[in-house]
Amino acid sequence: MKKKRLAKSASEFDRRFDAGEDVHDVVDLSKARITRPGRKARITLDIPEALVREIDDVRGRIGVDRGALIKVWLHERIAQEKAGESGRMLRAEQQMP
């Protein structure tokens, strides 16, 4: 059996995967790394029922569970804070009529 050529780029890999090709042989697994997130901490939030319903409306439209959606939103907000965008957002909200 002839060995398949490795994918040279992510776009080539995606194209081959989307075409239905078995991609196990086109990835160099010797360079693969397994990353694990840090330890998890459980938190409890008291949130108004109306806000929970709004979160559930969004989650229902995009098809994810509530916890996953909140984690993504928290991650995005932390990234914004690190990038210094929150100050601009807050000032823009304060200027709204």
What predicted TM-score, i.e. pTM, was given to this entire model? Answer: 0.50
pLDDT of 49 higher than 90: yes
What is the CA 55 to chain-centroid distance, rounded? 17
In angstroms, the Cα distances linking 68 to 16, 25, 48 are 30, 32, 19
pLDDT in tens, 60-92: 999 999 999 999 999 999 999 888 865 566 666
CA–CA gap between residue 94 and residue 50 (Å, rounded): 24
Contact 22, 1 (CB under 8 A): no
pLDDT of residue 47: 94
- For the segment 24-47, the average pLDDT, to the nearest whole number, is 83
Domains of the chain and CATH, by start = 1-35 (no CATH), 36-97 (1.10.1220)
Instruction: Give the separation between CA 2 and CA 7, rounded to whole angstroms.
Output: 15
